[in-house]
Amino acid sequence: STWGFSEPSAPTLPPIPLLKSRGMSRCKEYLKGFLAQVEAKAGQEKGQLAEEFQEIKARTLAFRQQQAISNEAGCNKENIKKNRYKDILPYDQTRVVVNLLAEECQADYINASFIQGVDNKRCYIATQGPLAHTVLDFWRMIWQYKVKVIVMACREVEMGKKKCERYWPSAEETLHFGPFSVAQIKEQELNPDVILRVLSLAFQQEERVISHFQYVAWPDRGIPDTYGYFLNMIEQVRFKQGEDIVPICVH
What pairs with residue 231 in β-bridges?
none
Domain ranges of the chain: 65-250
- Domain 65-250 grouped into CATH 3.30.750.210: no
Alpha-carbon distance of 251 to 241, in angstroms, equals 17
The whole-number mean pLDDT for each consecutive block of 10 residues of the chain, a chain of 251 residues, reads: 38 43 67 80 71 88 84 95 95 96 89 89 94 97 98 94 95 94 97 97 97 94 88 95 94 98
Q: Rounded CA gap, 222 and 228, in Å?
A: 17
Q: What is the pLDDT of residue 43?
A: 65
Give the pLDDT confidence score for residue 141 in this predicted structure: 98
The predicted pLDDT at position 213 comes to 99
pLDDT the model gives residue 132:
97
Question: What are residue 119's phi and psi, to 5 degrees?
Answer: -100, 15
